[in-house]
């Protein structure tokens, strides 16, 4: 399988969201990456249900929703209702992660688990066979446009080994600071999905940048 590109809408122009949604629809991108932040789990607040619902109406590609919120279980159904196709919760935000995963699956969504840069790969060992995606944070979550953390390369390789050992089907998604300098090495290390916000939307030609990342 060739790798997937998921532009992060966090860096889009919210004054003219239709235009950027259309741009992604027409591009080589595979998914929309939507970052939901609550100002508690992360030191920033982004957007919630009304925006996701509006994007769902316009998008022709799956919605990859990344929850950076506490108590995500309280909102699983609501995210399904506004159109999430893949719902990712943070390991650090779930005291009963196995239950959170089952709740998402039972609603018919694909399920992802995100881990912060300080969280070791080993902590995924007992749930890796139950999930569709691991979102490896390559910056501390909360903001777009941050510097990529180099230790991520080693984590991708370790995660790939764990996935193979456990015969898991989980995709490896990299989130934060992905750019035209590091994307090739990430793919070579085993990444399957690249999230890119700043690199896509703050480039001169976002469509062309997506094409480059996908090539
Ligand atoms: C960070 C978010 C990312 C962010 C990535 O907390 O989870 O998805 O939008 O943005 P860039 O690609 O600009 O680092
Ligand atoms: Zn994200």
Q: What is the pLDDT along the chain (215 residues), one digit of tens a residue?
A: 799 999 999 999 999 999 999 999 999 999 999 999 999 999 999 999 999 999 999 999 999 999 999 999 999 999 999 999 999 999 999 999 999 999 999 999 999 999 999 999 999 999 999 999 999 999 999 999 999 999 999 999 999 999 999 999 999 999 999 999 999 999 999 999 999 999 999 999 999 999 999 99
Rounded distance between C-alpha atoms, residue 149 and residue 156, angstroms: 12
Rounded distance between C-alpha atoms, residue 73 and residue 89, angstroms: 9
Q: Is 85 a catalytic residue?
A: no
Q: Where are the domains of the chain?
A: 4-214
Three-point CA angle 29, 163, 139, nearest 5°: 55
Contact 172, 134 (CB under 8 A): yes
Rounded distance between C-alpha atoms, residue 155 and residue 115, angstroms: 11
- Compute φ and ψ for 12, nearest 5 degrees: -75, 175
Which residues are registered as beta bridge partners of 32? 63
The one catalytic residue in 35, 38, 64, 132 is 35
* Correct CATH for 4-214 of 2.130.10.10, 3.20.20.70, 3.30.70.100, 3.50.50.60: 3.20.20.70
- Dist. CA 117 → ligand 1 center (Å): 13
pTM strictly above 0.95: yes
Q: What are the E-state strand segments in the chain?
A: 4-7, 32-37, 63-68, 86-90, 110-115, 133-137, 171-175, 193-196
Ligand 1 neighbours, Cβ below 6 Å, are 8, 10-11, 33, 35, 66, 139, 141-142, 144-146, 175-178, 195-199
Q: Is 126 a catalytic residue?
A: no
């Amino acid at each position: 399988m060739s790798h997937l590109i998921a532009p992060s809408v966090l860096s889009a122009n919210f004054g003219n969201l239709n235009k950027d949604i259309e741009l992604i629809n027409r591009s080589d991108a595979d998914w929309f990456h939507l970052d939901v932040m609550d100002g508690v789990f992360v030191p920033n607040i982004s957007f919630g249900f009304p925006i996701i619902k509006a994007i769902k109406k316009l998008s022709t590609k799956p919605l990859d929703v990344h929850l950076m919120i506490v108590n995500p279980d309280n909102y699983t159904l609501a995210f399904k209702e506004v159109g999430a196709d893949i719902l990712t919760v943070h390991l650090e935000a779930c005291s009963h992660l196995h239950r959170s995963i089952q709740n998402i699956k039972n609603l018919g969504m694909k399920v992802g688990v995100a881990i912060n840069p300080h969280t070791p790969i080993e902590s995924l060992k007992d749930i890796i066979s139950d999930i569709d995606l691991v979102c490896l944070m390559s910056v501390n979550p909360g903001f777009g446009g941050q510097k990529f953390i180099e230790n991520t390369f080693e984590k991708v390789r370790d995660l790939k080994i764990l996935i193979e050992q456990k015969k898991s089907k989980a995709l490896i998604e990299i989130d934060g600071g992905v750019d035209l300098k590091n994307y090739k090495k990430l793919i070579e290390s085993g990444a399957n999905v690249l999230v890119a916000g700043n690199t896509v939307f703050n480039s001169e030609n976002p469509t062309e940048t997506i094409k480059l990342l996908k090539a």
